[in-house]
Amino acid sequence: MEPPVRIIQSLCTGCELCVNACPQHVLQMTADISRLAGKVARVANPDMCTGCAQCEDACPDFCIRVTAVVV
Ligand code: SF4
Ligand code: SF4
């Protein structure tokens, strides 16, 4: 099944706001030397995602998409 949260990494500036916003610790930064910030956000623990969309709201660059969680 597709995870409820998706990061469009090509748009990510590595600001880390989404990582700090997620109460479930779903998102993490990962090193990427090809980027200005040297890091990019990734979905590390998709099974923990509740679909709350706090990460989507926190991202200033609109690179997070959250779809509804079906329970
Ligand atoms: S939707 Fe909520 S639980 Fe899922 S990654 Fe974003 S902030 Fe975390
Ligand atoms: S908030 Fe957006 S731009 Fe910042 S690290 Fe997360 S996905 Fe990247």
So where are the chain's domains? 5-64
- Supply the pTM of this predicted model: 0.93
Amino acid residing at 4: P
Q: Is 43 in the pocket of ligand 2 (CB under 6 A)?
A: no
Among 2.60.40.10, 3.40.1080.20, 3.40.50.300, 3.30.70.20, name the CATH number for the domain at 5-64: 3.30.70.20
- Ligand 1 shell residues, CB under 6 Å: 5, 21-22, 24, 26-27, 49-55, 66
pLDDT score of 34: 94
Q: Does the beta carbon of 57 sit less than 6 angstroms from any atom of ligand 2?
A: no
5 Cα to the center of ligand 1, angstroms = 7
For a pLDDT cut of 90, what percent of the chain falls above it?
A: 90
* pLDDT tens, position by position, 31-70: 999 999 999 999 999 999 999 999 999 999 999 999 976 6
Q: Say yes or no to pLDDT of 71 above 70.
A: no
